[in-house]
Amino acid sequence: MGKIITDKSLSKKDKILRNAASLFRARGFTGCSMRELADSLGIEAPSLYNHIGSKGELLQHICEKVAESFTGNMKENVQQEVPVDEKLENLIRFHIRFMMEDFDALWVANHEWKHLPPLHLKTFLQQRKDYENNFTTLVKQGIEAGQLKNLDASVVTLTILSAVRGLEFWQRKSKSIPDSTIENDVIHHLLKGIMK
């Protein structure tokens, strides 16, 4: 949490990846050119290719890293022996904290994955599907155990994932809502609702 990443501690490739995530988020994968990316680093476009193989490879690295984090967290989560509602809370909290710490990369993985090279697209979609299935299984367990209401488990899963994937508060620092308020209110909302 809250690691301080100094510019100097990053390799050139890491700097390229960081700026790529930022630009792909701001302008879209197809809307951002390699020349823009090079400009953001103060070099010429052809120089990028001393560090990377292709534009698609950049997207692939960004999406892979995110997907592996979420897959790993899900794996840990299902092994824990805690009630389902606590598991769901932990999963939602992970989404929110990831968004706060690595917004660009997560946004790109959530919104630009369709531009992945075919083979990696297939892998990514499989991981995403597995993640969603694991999530839905948890919801079903909660319903069967009587902790959760009898709603459609797929619909519940996609409502929660849709909500956390689209969150963009943290950009608007101007509103100055404390991180803890965002985290706790979103979790409360998605688990217990907003009506008294």
> Residues in the site for a copy of itself, rule: CB under 8 A?
26-31, 85, 111, 114-115, 139, 142, 146-149, 151-152, 154-156, 158-169, 175, 177, 181-182, 185-186, 188-196
Nearer Cβ to DNA, position 46 or 83? 46
Q: 110 with 98: CB under 8 angstroms?
A: no
- Six-digit token pair at 6? 């100094």
Q: Identify the burial level of 154 via C-beta atoms within 10 angstroms of its C-beta, where 0-12 means exposed, 13-18 middle and 19 or more buried.
A: middle
Nearer Cβ to DNA, position 35 or 188? 35
What do you get for the CA distance between the two ends of the chain, in Å?
34
Residue 50 within binding range of DNA, rule CB under 7 A? yes
Whose tokens are 């290719």? That residue is 49
Considering only 33-41, 60-68, 121-129, 145-153, which stretch makes contact with DNA by CB under 7 A?
33-41
Q: Min. distance of Cβ 34 from a copy of itself in angstroms? A: 14
Residue 130 interacts, among DNA, a copy of itself, none and using kind-specific CB cut-offs from 5 to 8 Å, with: none
Q: Min. distance of Cβ 189 from DNA in angstroms? A: 39
Q: 191 with 88: CB under 8 angstroms?
A: yes
Q: Which of 3, 131, 124 is nearest to 59 (CA)?
A: 124
Binding positions for DNA, rule: CB under 7 A: 12, 32-36, 38, 41-47, 49-50, 54-56
